[in-house]
A = this chain, B = another copy of it.
Amino acid sequence: MPIYKAPVDDALFLLNDVFHIEHYGNLPGFSDASPDVVEAVLREAAKFSEEVLTPLNRVGDKEGCKRAADGSVTTPKGFKDAYKQIVEGGWIGISVPADFGGQGLPATMTVMVNEFFCSANMAFAMYPGLTQGAIAALLVHASDALKAKYLPKMVEGAWTGTMNLTEPHCGTDLGLLRSKAVKQADGSYKVSGTKIFISAGEHDLSQNIIHLVLARIEGAPAGTKGISLFVVPKIMVNDDGSLGAPNAVSCGSIEEKMGIHGNSTCVMNYDGAIGWLIGEENRGLNAMFTMMNEARLGVGVQGLALSEVAYQNAAAYAKERLQGRSISGVKYPDKAADPIIVHPDVRRALMSMRAFNEAARALVMWTALKSDVAHRSDDQKERTSADDHMGLLTPVIKGVLTDGGFANAVMAQQIFGGHGYIAEHGMEQFVRDARIAQIYEGANGIQALDLVGRKLGKDGGRAIMAFFNEVQTYLKERADSDAMNVYLKPLGQSLAHLQQASMWFMQNAMAKPDNAGAGSYDYMHLFGLVALGYMWCKIAEAALAKLPKANGSAAVLNAKLVTARFFMERMLPETATRLARIQAGAASTMELPDDAF
């Protein structure tokens, strides 16, 4: 059975020593997030993740969800009980305004807690996670009446939420959407159509399921400009809040898929189901987009979460599995063989994973804090700047952290050798589960296009210029620090690569957009490496500052410095290759006729 220990101390180090959460004290909710409260919440989330969710991870994979002939779906053994504890703990609403039953704490807290939940049991964590997504959409776009009707129960967790976008013939290109909505005399709509890949579409965890559904109102324009968003409850809700008759929506089947078996991925059939418009007619995509940054950040966190738990299991196995002897001389003469952690190639893999994880966690936290600023600050300039950051970094986090999460799950599995390929240790499940995060919520190729095609040029390049400026200023201000030089110099080189790549797009992609498309994926990863490198500089700086007064934490802080060096020496140099690929342009990529493939 896989092990998991939530990285509470690392999260606290980042919050307190790297990002100085106390500087955010003026934002609503942050004054409640005193150091004591933050630590208590994280320790409680850790305990629940380690003791309740982790043991259910393999169970969920093995049993999966089962659909009965009547369309009802049963979740794996133990999920119902665990979900009850989610409700009792109030976990869904920790960052939701108190008006709707939440605790109003920073959204950053939810992001951190969700990392733990996902590491322990990604398939399970999606049930509350999707509910949080639906809550976010309703909060921003729904009428007060709809909010009052649905939010409190969703925040409590008594009802869960879903997102219904994809149809068999359209996923990325929602303009092709066919589901339709017909307006009724009472202002409601009858929604009809088939939606696929609907996570948590039907299950037995909650009393009701609130579906958010994209559909086209009769007579609406074709394409993306004729799409509206509806709230469609599984069971009708009476005016007094009690549950009424079932709505005309049902689960047609459960998808047979590669992983996240504990989550029910459904084909949902809407057959004149009654729904209500969220926001304005034909502005459904807009409503979806405003919550997309948070949702994509959440998927990036899944990548980090699986990388972290896979790493922990690989590290434990590497210390325990005896095989061969160190090439630099026997290290454990009392044992039949040395544990495989003595082998440099095993170390290389472990160091690569931790160098990714710790910086990725920082990148997530930095951006989550920006999200709090963007939503809660009363300073317009600060809000805009934070929003720019979110827009720019979100596709990077989604794409790079999920690619890295999958690659690291594979790397961790490799450390187990043949034992990683069989189900017993749970390593192959991490690989299968991690894979979906690269695909859903906008496949990673779409993230790269979003970054290069939309975010770079937006507002005259304001966001990317601000990012460059921040990192450059950071480097300049520390140029005289001998202790930091070993981290700053490589970052400076890689930042230059990113700047050259950006410049290359400006000069070569206007006339020939294919040059941007062909280089977008490499650009996303080049950006990710620079962002992670920047995080390592900040982490190293905080560690150096804390070391003189370290009480027993010196080993942890020193490990940060070594890992930062590893990142700079071993991982950051990849930016050169990424730049070379981008500068190669689109010619050889696009030259062959379609039928040559």
Q: Using a CB–CB distance below 8 Å, which chain A residues touch chain B?
A: 166, 169-173, 175-176, 196-197, 255-259, 265, 315, 318-319, 322-324, 327-328, 336-337, 339, 341-351, 354, 406, 410, 413-414, 417-418, 420-424, 428, 431-432, 435-436, 438-440, 443-445, 448-449, 453, 512-514, 516-518, 520-521, 555, 559, 562-563, 565-566, 569-570, 573-574, 576-577, 580-581, 584, 586-597
Q: Known: A432-B258, A589-B570, A592-B559. Is A518-B439 also a contact (CB below 8 A)?
A: no
- In the bound complex, do residue B577 and residue A319 qualify as a contact, i.e. CB atoms below 8 Å apart? no
In contact, A257 and B591 (Cβ under 8 angstroms): no
Contact call A431/B565, Cβ cutoff below 8 A? no
Residues of B within 8 A of A559 (CB): 592, 596
The smallest beta-carbon distance between A550 and chain B, in angstroms, is 15
A593 to B328, CA, bound (A): 15
Q: A435-B431, A580-B573 are in contact. Are A418 and B440 (CB under 8 A)?
A: yes
A-B contact pairs, 10 of them (CB 8 A): A172-B417, A176-B337, A315-B597, A327-B513, A343-B517, A345-B518, A350-B597, A420-B439, A421-B440, A573-B577
A555 CB contacts on chain B under 8 angstroms: 593, 596
**Looking at A172, A516, A589, which has the most chain B CB atoms within 10 Å of its CB?**
A589
Q: Of the candidates B421, B453, B512, B592, which one forms a contact with A439 in the assembled complex, judged by CB atoms under 8 Å apart?
A: B421
Look across to chain B and name the residue whose beta carbon is closest to the beta carbon of A175: B337
Given contacts A576-B576, A596-B555, whether A345 and B421 have CB atoms under 8 Å apart is no
8 tightest Cβ-Cβ pairs between the two chains A and B: A344-B517, A569-B584, A258-B428, A573-B580, A344-B518, A566-B588, A315-B597, A327-B513
Q: What 4 additional pairs, Cβ within 8 angstroms, besides A257-B421, A414-B444, A421-B435? A: A255-B422, A257-B428, A341-B597, A345-B521
Q: Which residues of B contact A339 (CB under 8 A)?
A: 594
Contact partners of A439 in chain B: CB under 8 A: 414, 417-418, 420-421
**B319 near A594: Cβ-Cβ < 8 Å:** yes
Residues from chain B with Cβ under 8 Å of A588 in the complex: 351, 562-563, 565-566, 569-570
Chain B's closest residue to A339 (CB) is B594
Which B residues are in CB contact (< 8 Å) with A512? 328
Evaluate whether A418 and B166 lie within 8 angstroms (CB atoms) in the complex, with A448-B345, A589-B344, A597-B350 already known: yes
